[in-house]
Amino acid sequence: MRALALSTLDLTKRFGDFTALDSVSLQVRAGTVHALLGENGAGKSTLVKCLVGFHTADDGAIVINERETDIRTPQMARSAGIGMVYQHFTLVPSMTVAQNLALGKGELPAVIDWPAQLASMRAFMQGMPFQLDLQATVANLSAGEKQKTEILKQLYANNRLLILDEPTSVLTPTEADEVLGAIRSLAHAGEITVVLITHKFREVQAYADDVSILRHGRYVGGGAVRDFPPERLASLMVGSSAMARGSYERVKSSATPVLQVQGLSALSEAGVPALHGVSFEAARHEIVGIAGIAGNGQKQLVQAISGQMPRSAGQVLVHGKAFAGTRKDYREAKLAVLPEEPLANGAVAALSVAQNMALRSFDQTPHARLGWLQAASLRRTAQQLIEAYGIKTRGPDAAIGTLSGGNVQRCILARELAADAQVLIVMNPVFGLDFAAVADIHERLMQARQRGCAIVLISEDLDELLELSDRVLVMHAGRIVYESRHPQQERQAIGLAMGGQVIEPESAVV
């Protein structure tokens, strides 16, 4: 068997006086898929970063195939046969699959004898559970194919312990099943061992053999997946405290629109038309869901509404007044946007939590006086939001870039909702969040709706849309092709429209 066995013995990692990993001991059997679970900030990424030499553990040991292995640098991890597949792609888009495989192995494409290389890569590919076109340029691949290329790259570099940190979050459900199915067959064939970080219980149940659960940096349980039904996983992840879920008597949506999007068109970053005359409205006490497969103009819709990109036609009105996206417009319209990937698009990683929470409002009293930022006032406001939103941070002064993914998301949502928004535009708000955080954020969106906010919820997650939306619009190829006023009863029609098949043309908005 070429797959590696891994165990950690009392692995400990501290950041200053904060202990992110506290004596974690776990065992990963060779040739298995091992799920690593835990709520946001539990220490999952920290653990695997110690395994790939990105962090050095302060204490404890890493044991590979019964042998204690010193891993202090990424090179040491590589020579131990450990590789990582990141959530965000690390391929060179302008190169072919073959060139990327070569690069991953440390070979320079310029000095390679390509005919011989391609022949050996083809032979290697034969033994894989999925096939890719070696000559295809990476930029032209779908997300699923890119993810498969990342996995092939690891195997081609002869890494036998693969770590996947939320690998399916960028994939459609079908692509996710394909990729996870493929890694499971490789594992069960004894080729690789896989540590899989995921927040999706369904993936754990369907594809993992064993599971380990972390809570507050400690190992709190684990074993064969069949002994851990979802309820048991959930209670281990969050501790024994039961989860309260609000149930709602929905306040009736008002008839007059607050937000009016009229004939909006825009180009993509590459300069091709991506949005074609999109019109819709949202009223007080209403959540308008926008469904669609990623890449059908949703990103441009958010950017064109919020004024982050030029519109080629159309206009946006808030309370009947034109909204172009200036600071003044935002203030007057009380419009807030929760962008996709908040750390990249809505925050400054090196600034503190408190500074980031004030980014939108720092030029107004009481935070600013005579142009000086009032640090104490910033910190006080931030502390309140940290408590209200249960944000895990060492405090308001921690750099936001040191927070776990889920906690960055909460910071930005806290900031946008605290501004007492009347119009809220949110895109994939629970991306990468643990199940408890998902419930919490959904509850907060619902509360915003109940207090009168008009919400546009753009999401690739159909279940999320069906649960929260009063109405669902479906985007396909830059147009709204379908409107459902009873989304819960029309799941199938919505799904078909997402794929471009509209079965009830009479109810479609054109």
Ligand X SMILES: Nc1ncnc2c1ncn2[C@@H]1O[C@H](COP(=O)(O)OP(=O)(O)OP(=O)(O)O)[C@@H](O)[C@H]1O
Binding footprint of ligand X on the chain (CB under 6 A): 15, 18, 20, 38, 40-46, 392, 402-406, 434
Using rule CB under 5 A, residue 298 touches Mg ion: no
Tokens found for residue 328: 């003044």
Q: Distance between CA 167 and CA 149 in Å, rounded?
A: 12
Name residue, tokens 């292995």.
69
Residue 459 near Mg ion by CB under 5 A? no
φ, ψ (nearest 5 deg) of residue 265:
-130, 150
Closest distance to Mg ion from the beta carbon of 44 (Å): 5
Q: Decide: is 198 part of the binding site for Mg ion (CB under 5 A).
A: no
Strand partners, 193: 161
Residue of 474, 503, 469 whose CA lies nearest to 486: 469
Distance separating alpha carbons of residues 202 and 498, to the nearest angstrom: 23
For residues 434 and 450, is the Cβ–Cβ distance under 8 A? Answer: no
379/410 with CB nearer ligand X: 410
- Least distance (Å) between residue 58 CB and ligand X: 13
Structure tokens belonging to residue 267: 């180009």
CB of 343 to ligand X, least distance (A): 11
Amino acid at 25: S
Dmax (CA) for the chain in angstroms is 70
Stretch that binds Mg ion, among 38-46, 82-90, 241-249, 412-420 (CB under 5 A): 38-46
Residue 43 binds which one of ligand X, Mg ion, none, with CB within 5 to 8 A depending on kind?
A: ligand X
Give the interface segment with Mg ion, choosing from 41-49, 151-159, 170-178, 185-193 (CB under 5 A): 41-49
Cα(230)–Cα(225) distance, integer angstroms: 10
- By a kind-dependent CB cut-off of 5 to 8 A, residue 403 interacts, out of ligand X, Mg ion, none, with ligand X
For residues 121 and 98, give the distance between their C-alpha atoms in angstroms, rounded to a whole number: 8
Binding-site partner at residue 104 among ligand X, Mg ion, none, CB < 5 to 8 Å by type: none
Query: Is residue 407 involved in binding Mg ion (CB under 5 A)?
Result: no
Q: Which among ligand X, Mg ion, none contacts residue 487 (Cβ within 5 to 8 A by kind)?
A: none
Indicate the residue whose CB is closest to Mg ion. 45
Complex with ligand X: residue 340 or 434, whichever CB lies closer: 434
Q: Which does 31 bind (CB under 5 to 8 A by kind): Mg ion, ligand X, none?
A: none
CB of 426 to ligand X, least distance (A): 18
CB nearer ligand X, residue 179 or residue 403: 403
Q: How far is the CB of 18 from ligand X (least distance, A)?
A: 6
What is the distance, to the nearest Å, from the Cα of residue 232 to the centroid of all Cα atoms in its chain? 24
Give me the least distance between CB of 50 and ligand X, in Å please: 10
Please report how close the Cβ of residue 38 comes to ligand X at its closest, in angstroms. 5
- Dist CA 391 CA 406 (whole Å): 9
Cα separation, 379 vs 381, whole angstroms: 5
Residues constituting the chain:
510
Q: Tokens 């607050």 — which residue?
A: 258
Shortest gap between Cβ of 153 and ligand X (angstroms)? 23
Among 8, 32, 45, 469, binds Mg ion (CB under 5 A): 45
Interhelix angle 97-104/114-126, rounded to 10 degrees, is 90
Q: Which residue, 46 or 459, is less far from ligand X as judged by CB?
A: 46
Q: Cβ closer to ligand X: 17 or 463?
A: 17
Measure the CA dihedral 92/94/97/102, to 10°: -60
Nearer to Mg ion, 45 or 169 (CB): 45
Nearer to ligand X, 20 or 386 (CB): 20
| Helices and strands (H and E) in the chain: how many | 17, 22
Nearest-approach distance from CB 387 to Mg ion, in angstroms: 23
Structure tokens at 420: 């007492």
Residues 452 and 446: their CA atoms lie apart, in Å, by 10
Which residues of this protein are in contact with Mg ion, per CB under 5 A? 45
